[in-house]
Structure 1
């Protein structure tokens, strides 16, 4: 997945490894005493798939059609009616069946927009489309509905409702969009964008110091020498890339920068933003840019025999197979690390896996900061839906503590229970949660939850996501994590960075206020992207230093000829205006 998907999905990919679904609490779906197991006057007990409305009348569930990919760790929700434990519980509580158009694409959404009609509920990840949807009268005005059917949404996420009226209303300051997941900052045991390495090999080498990113390659070389092949005799590589996630440039040339406070990964323009120093902007084609530092880093890796030669054309699926087979010894993104660690544990090798290490001169750990305004776009309800109240009840439910707990952890009193006043995963649920496609549905709808998993439940004083519970970690902690914690003297891996230098995180909440690139700037941007995505690999795989330097010179010259100065001028001005609009919207 491209990094933007992780975040629009966090988090691509607070996005990576993430889970999701939805429910609603504002309706009387509870079967009252008169409908108990001992019905009076011979009345039949309603079927479990029926719902009792507020007038005591048995009602059949309604079907809501949803446009929502929901990809979790690369596994999209399949199209059609779902039949897992989570959606069955939603149907029982809300009286709705969920019929998905899954594995969605921008082209599919464009077709719906062109037709003048959208599904009952549509998740729109591209926030620039909201004006078109509102102007086309495709979305329902939610001002009244949220008041009557959105009490949990208003109580738990009021900031994103007010933000939506400012940012996503086409200037009307009315509510049309319910933004995506909101809550406190991401907590990850692996480095979102940074260096994750085979910790077992690093340990065997005696934990060599990494003072700066320049020290990374010698350490990786020692690791590759230590394990030149996997257990099947296949050659290992310290670093492996895939090209199908490349955006404005080759993705992996950008992944040193976040360790030093620079945002290079979450946008489509050719500029680097110094988040640790007042959000200053640098041209990506500056000779000293992080893009070129990253390209040179990979060039040096190739010279040392550390770079997978397939990297020049490899797709993520191929790289992921190599990762799980133990053929890759490091990763600068976290969403493939979990798969490898889980595979090793399943193979009876819990001491083997990847964990993050931090150059001593690094400035930031990139884990997305607090998101009170929501991320990943937002939901719109069709202006032509036959079930507007049910649609809003669903959106309300996924923004409730009850709904989020269902999405992340499964059905209460079946998949998780209360013990001593705390939530507790059953052993069966822990096993089921390892596969989002299991019949339990635990985590399958992770990216639909309106509250993120790091939100604290007010009753339990635990995070909503069960994998964060102390009672889960004490039963699932692998030897890998125990070794890591012992080395850093912490009780959970994500605290290792805090202990070393204090965690700093990035925030780019102003970005939805940036304008769509005008046609002339967009054309410049596209031509430059096409050029650099091709030529930067020539630099990485150059035969010698002289060829590398010449390719770099040529790239800079081509970017200038194609109009990079005009693009950067637009970025600087538009970003400044967007930041001012954002600060005005939040009352700063």
Structure 2
């Protein structure tokens, strides 16, 4: 009798499993941001998400220029079920490839509506086309930057050797590099020490070469634009006189032999390998771009070759505006294409990722397996806390934590109903991630976090348009040509100016501005209109 009961229960269980499997779908996806640790949902978190939602992502992540890939998808009509195109969203809208998600969100996405709150209008595509085609996933709600990243980086070993000197200006930054290279012209394996290395490979040119020009001169990130905060008029940010002086400083670094001679020829993987070798004293880059190299240094125990982060500026009195408040930017996100056979299941998938349960899962993993609750507080189990600190890439591949921030979610500093932070990036956890070498440096600089060295958000006025780079550009607008033309000009002239004899710098840089003025002038008016349209959509300007 008992054997019969067990057989019956087994058959019922098998039937339920088969039913759940039958309800699952494979969903194609493309993401414009790379994710080298993607495990095809075979990691711990991915398996739970599949079980909960019935959606099995067959995802492709960008290799090379993501805009080119999105353009090919739009032209071919072979747009995957889910797509996160970043700045190429307008291409898909103009190709009529995307679903307007407004009704789907209202009917099937209560968690997305809960997270976005009263800012639903910031998810609308544009003032002219007020459909919601993308759910923002490159921005978070309620974000507090406990440890915001500064892009001027110096090896901890060099700082320690020089007794942790102040690094407030580019002159200070340069001195640390120069003194270290002079004392250590070669590394322990006999290779030349590299003072400062830049990355100019493909679209990353703007991250490491040109964007730092506004960070070092009191500007903020509006992409390739500078928006006048009084008139809302747009011009390419290279026209700011302060930025010319930044590039003159890079020219000087090259002239005195501290700039890596391969800065404008090396590929991304070569650059990461060079950093991971421990040869590079100074970097000007974002942590998210060099994350794999930093993980390699940490995994290899090369803690002194990891980096301190400083908001270095051209001269005293300037304030690096990394913390300038933008509010919720909207813009970039993930959408469902018209090719999708089951949009309802896909919006429910995205909604699950935005739910309380989903956000805890994608940030913390599985209770009892990856984390436990001690005295009401979540903390990683020792095995995973150690792996997270020593080898973050392996931690992500095994657990899946860090691979599923695909939908709208709360940012650092927001707590759930249990009083715990949704994300793992909060003061106590940030401190556990620091190495002993970092802690020694932070103690010497009399701060708890690297982000404490940055000017606080309260020192800046809010940016009412949020960020010009996050405003979608309609494909039928001539402005869609701007990026390619502007990059052709800057990629030609900026490296030439940096590598030139200092006496030729002004001539080359001024020639670039003249060419920009002649070839890009009309785009400034179009970008100005986009900014003003956003301000009207968001109720800042009257329509």
Query: Does the alignment reach a TM-score above 0.5?
Result: yes
SS in 2 for 1:411: coil
Aligned mates of 2:219, 2:15 — CA distance in 1: 52
Normalising to structure 2: TM-score of the pair?
Answer: 0.83
Post-superposition offset of 1:413: 2.2
Q: Does 1:538 align with 2:496?
A: yes
Partner of residue 272, structure 1: 226
Aligned mates of 1:190, 1:453 — CA distance in 2: 13
SS in 1 for 2:241: coil
Aligned mates of 1:39, 1:278 — CA distance in 2: 77
SS in 2 for 1:238: strand
Aligned mates of 2:152, 2:311 — CA distance in 1: 7
Say whether the 8 Å CA contact 1:260–1:363 is kept in structure 2. yes
Aligned mates of 1:439, 1:120 — CA distance in 2: 26
Partner of residue 122, structure 1: 83
Partner of residue 143, structure 2: 185
Q: Does 1:381 align with 2:336?
A: yes
Q: Hey, which of these two has a bigger chunk of helix by percent? A: 2
Post-superposition offset of 1:143: 3.9
Relative distance call for 1:231 and 1:504 in structure 2 (3 A) is farther
Post-superposition offset of 1:174: 4.5
Say whether the 8 Å CA contact 1:221–1:306 is kept in structure 2. yes
Post-superposition offset of 1:425: 0.7
Of 359, 362, 366 in structure 2, the residue corresponding to residue 411 of structure 1 is: 366
SS in 1 for 2:262: helix
Say whether the 8 Å CA contact 1:423–1:460 is kept in structure 2. no
Q: Does 1:483 align with 2:440?
A: yes
Partner of residue 132, structure 1: 94
Say whether the 8 Å CA contact 2:155–2:304 is kept in structure 1. no
Listed one character per residue, the Cα deviations across residues 256-315 of structure 1 (whole Å, up to 9, x for unaligned) are 32143313x5534xx43466x88675555648251x223211110011110011113122
Say whether the 8 Å CA contact 1:542–1:548 is kept in structure 2. yes
- More deviation, 352-361/318-327: 352-361
Normalising to structure 1: TM-score of the pair?
Answer: 0.77
Aligned mates of 1:49, 1:334 — CA distance in 2: 50
Say whether the 8 Å CA contact 1:326–1:340 is kept in structure 2. no
Of 162, 173, 186 in structure 2, the residue corresponding to residue 229 of structure 1 is: 186
Post-superposition offset of 1:423: 0.8
Post-superposition offset of 1:96: 2.7
Of 320, 344, 354 in structure 2, the residue corresponding to residue 364 of structure 1 is: 320
Where does 1:133-532 land on structure 2 (aligned, <5 Å)? 133=95, 136=96, 138-164=97-123, 166-167=124-125, 171=129, 173-180=130-137, 181-185=139-143, 187=145, 189=147, 191-192=149-150, 194-210=151-167, 212-245=169-202, 252-263=209-220, 266-268=222-224, 271-273=225-227, 284=237, 286=239, 288-290=241-243, 292-335=244-287, 336=289, 338-359=291-312, 360-367=316-323, 369=325, 371-374=327-330, 377-433=332-388, 434-435=392-393, 438-446=397-405, 448-468=406-426, 470=428, 472-473=429-430, 475-498=432-455, 508-509=465-466, 511=468, 512-513=470-471, 515-516=473-474, 526-527=484-485, 529-532=487-490
Of 50, 71, 75 in structure 1, the residue corresponding to residue 36 of structure 2 is: 75
Unmatched 5+ stretches in structure 1: 1-37
- Count of residues in Structure 1 that have an aligned counterpart in Structure 2: 527
Aligned mates of 1:50, 1:586 — CA distance in 2: 56
Partner of residue 43, structure 1: 9
CA RMSD of aligned residues (A): 3.8
Aligned mates of 1:469, 1:139 — CA distance in 2: 40
SS in 2 for 1:119: coil
Listed one character per residue, the Cα deviations across residues 528-554 of structure 1 (whole Å, up to 9, x for unaligned) are 5323311222221123x3222332343
Post-superposition offset of 1:399: 1.2
Unmatched 5+ stretches in structure 2: none
SS in 1 for 2:400: coil
Partner of residue 551, structure 1: 508
Aligned mates of 1:142, 1:120 — CA distance in 2: 13
Aligned mates of 1:343, 1:63 — CA distance in 2: 36
Relative distance call for 1:218 and 1:394 in structure 2 (3 A) is same
Aligned mates of 1:286, 1:112 — CA distance in 2: 35
